[in-house]
Amino acid sequence: MSSLSVKHLLGIKNLTPQDINLILETATNFKEVLNRPIKKVPSLRDITIANVFFENSTRTRLSFELAQKRLSADVINFSSSSSSVKKGETLLDTVNNILAMKVDMIVMRHQSPGAPHFLSKHIKANIINAGDGTHEHPTQALLDAFSIKEKLGELEGKKIAIIGDILHSRVALSNIFLLQKMGAQVMVCGPSTLIPKYISEIGVIVETDVKKALKWCDVANVLRIQLERQQIKYFPSLREYSLYFGINKKMLDELDKQILLMHPGPINRGVELSSDAADSNHSIILDQVENGVAIRMAVLYLLASVKQN
């Protein structure tokens, strides 16, 4: 199969395992392109893409922009903090104004879950969800899976522990969907106040002891405490969180095996991960960032490759 079954990348929920494999294989080819002397292919040279970010971002925004430029697309960037959204312009108006300038694809990050889904019902352009509130972040899950596959060979049967603020994490949810679709086992670990109450119904193991989680897993995907999304206090203090759930190098060395340590970024050094753990040889955090560009190139390329009339 050489094309995706979806027109937009709204979430991992809508992807089939064949779609996921196609994206991962295509990303392998693009990773090779990124190691050439001239890191550019002309495929998307007739396409204009708007990066519409209503929430802050470093990695995702830069990664998408770089991926688009490597594919020779024209890129325009929109960030709500310096736009007419501050004057009260609605989401649909903002996007329709951008589309009136003949933009072919939209990459959007928005604080409301379902915002890209809403948009997909009203506009013709391809939409890529770069994160919608606490719902999904599909390209992050894809690059996480790619990074795991790169180091461990396969996803099927592998044990991945997602550790941290599961309740507010779109990275956690997208990862859970993807890893389960690809036959991996998933555990979520964190303070019980930060684990959704009925999450075991979707087939994940729930654990509140981080040492047990590390012992069980092949891969530990550590999440940031999403302070900006917490209206109430879910734990007494950051210091207490890091005492009970923080991961340091000593804990990793005490395991009788080598596990992979991942983090979507940005890291709160000293909270969920100590510096010596983040910079240790278990960590593939910077590989994740490198792979992010290749994965986003694959997604953009595959969504664009549908025949135009």
Partner 1 sequence: MSKRLILNTNLLDITLNRLCQQLIENHNDFSNSVIIGMQPRGYFPAKRIQEKLEFLLNKTILIGRLDTTFYRDDFRRRETPIKANTTDIPFIIEGKKVILIDDVLFTGRTVRSALDAMTAFGRPDKVELLVLIDRKYTRELPIEADYVGKYVDSVFSQRVLAEWKEQGCQEDAIWLET
Please report, as ranges, the residues that interact with partner 1 according to CB under 8 A: 2-3, 22, 25-26, 28-29, 32-33, 36-43, 46, 301-302, 304-308
Q: Which is nearer to partner 1, 247 or 302 (CB)?
A: 302
In this structure, what are the phi and psi dihedrals at residue 215, rounded to the nearest 5 degrees? Answer: -65, -35
Considering the complex, what minimum distance in angstroms separates the CB of residue 292 from partner 1? Answer: 19
- Residue 3 half-sphere exposure toward CB, CA atoms < 13 A: 9
For residues 190 and 165, the answer to whether their CB atoms sit within 8 Å is yes
Considering the complex, what minimum distance in angstroms separates the CB of residue 33 from partner 1? Answer: 7
Q: Which is nearer to partner 1, 45 or 151 (CB)?
A: 45
Strand partners, 107: 51, 128
Neighbours of 196 (CB within 10 A): 18
Considering the complex, what minimum distance in angstroms separates the CB of residue 302 from partner 1? Answer: 8
Considering the complex, what minimum distance in angstroms separates the CB of residue 4 from partner 1? Answer: 9
Amino acid identity of residue 166, one-letter, is I
∠ CA 210-144-8, rounded to 5°: 130
Q: Which is nearer to partner 1, 126 or 139 (CB)?
A: 126
For residues 161 and 144, the answer to whether their CB atoms sit within 8 Å is no
Q: Which is nearer to partner 1, 3 or 56 (CB)?
A: 3
Considering the complex, what minimum distance in angstroms separates the CB of residue 185 from partner 1? Answer: 30
